[in-house]
Amino acid sequence: MAREHGFTPSEGNVKKIMLALFAALLVPTASFAINIYADLNGAYTQAGDLENQLGFGGTVAVSIIENVNAFGRIIYGSCLKDANTPEETEYTYLMMLGGFQHLLRIKDSPVFWTASVALGLADGSMNPSHDRSDEDIGLCAAFWTGFIVDATQYVSAYIEAGYHYSNYDSAFANADIKGFQVLFGVRISVWGKNRSIFERY
């Protein structure tokens, strides 16, 4: 199986890069963090030449000052076209990002408006046949805005919509891989707690 690569760190180096990214964001802030969060989310991603994809992801976030979080986020999506035919093609898109999120409470309620921005790596692949696979790793930027609602002291629900853009220099150098993205999921307060929706605001 032939594979084409652009910016091609080894699998081990990619893991080291992501570990360093998460550490840079989370470790220095943990000692004075107000809250530590873990998110689980579903995702709909328009990925241009990699087609529209459904997927899932996760986020680890630490509040560094009031209403500002630093986070590391991974989102994976896939799409299968022309299944069970000679033209069957599978597309995948993996975003590995680090960034910051700002929250603004809407009046005196458990609802927050959110705005996030992130940078990192994106691994895209296209598998048009069993003996050939095109894959590339490049730089990725994304932003989202949405709402999060504190349901209990430890659980929140959220939805975000945004845009992502990836730049490659090898297999997908001429590809158009960018587009609209929707994330929806649940946030768990691993350390610290929220104000419950049942409390007076």
Query: Cα(189)–Cα(198) distance, rounded to whole angstroms?
Result: 17
pLDDT band for position 82 (50/70/90)? Answer: confident
pLDDT of residue 23: 56
Q: Is the confidence at residue 29, as pLDDT, over 80? A: no
pLDDT, average across residues 178-184? 98
d(CA 94, CA 115): 21
Q: Which residues are bridge partners to 81 per DSSP?
A: 89
Domain regions of the chain by residue span: 2-191
CATH class name, domain 2-191:
mainly beta
CA distance 169 to 7: 7
Q: How many CB atoms lie within 10 A of CB 2?
A: 7
194 pLDDT above the threshold of 90: no
Radius of gyration for the chain, computed over Cα atoms and rounded to the nearest angstrom: 18
Among 71-75, 143-147, 153-157, the range scoring the smallest mean pLDDT is 153-157
- Would you state the pLDDT for residue 31? 46
Mean pLDDT of 81-105: 92
The pLDDT assigned to 104 comes to: 95
User: H or E segment at 136?
Assistant: strand 132-150
pLDDT tens digits along 94-146: 999 999 999 999 988 899 999 999 999 999 999 876 667 899 999 999 999 99
